[in-house]
Each structure stands twice: as C-alpha cells, then as structure tokens.
Amino acid sequence: MVEADFRSGLDQLTDLGHADFAEADLSFALLEGANLQSANLQGSCIYGANLRSCNLRQADLSGCDLRDTQLQGADLEGACLAGTLLAESQRY
C-alpha cells in the first residue's frame, strides 16, 4: 500500500480503528487525521508517512520503521513503541 491515501476529509473521519496492518508496507502513506486507535501496525514500514493529527491511542507500533514519519499532533497515549526505528530528530 505504498503511497496510499487515507486522509480524513473536512466532513468525514477516516476510521481505521482496530485495523490490522501488521507487517504492511505503508511507506509514504497519507493518513493525516485518521483514527488508528488500537490498530495493529506491528512490524509495519511506515517510513516517510504522514500521520499528523492521527489518533494512535493504544495502537501497536512495535517494531515499526517510523523514520521520517510526520507525527506532529498525533495522539500516542498508550501506544506500544517498543523497538520502533526513529530518526535522531524524532527521538523524544
């Protein structure tokens, strides 16, 4: 699903809550504003994707490649980030 466009529109939220994207290639995907609460993204490649303002609460991002991923405004409360790959500038 490289470069997939799942962005939320002005009048409709993209609801991918509880979706299973384990081991998926979501490189450069456009997911800005999407609901990914409790989604399984374990081991996914999300390199260079736009996750701005996403709801990632309780999502499993363990083992994901998040290098160069845009995470500004994303809600990561309770998200599992064990073993994620982050660029030096993304480290918190």
Looking at residue 10, what is its pLDDT?
A: 61
Q: Supply the pTM of this predicted model.
A: 0.87
- Model confidence over 29-46: pLDDT tens digits? 999 999 999 999 999 999
Tell me whether residue 58 is exposed, middle or buried, using C-beta atoms within 10 angstroms of its C-beta: 0 to 12, 13 to 18, 19 or more.
middle
Is 16 within 8 Å of 37 (Cβ atoms)? no
Task: Kindly tell me if the per-residue pLDDT of 89 is higher than 70.
Answer: no
- Model confidence over 52-88: pLDDT tens digits? 999 999 999 999 999 999 999 999 999 999 999 987 6
Q: What's the Cα-to-Cα distance from 47 to each of 12, 13, 61, rounded to whole Å?
A: 25, 23, 12
CA distance 36 to 31: 9
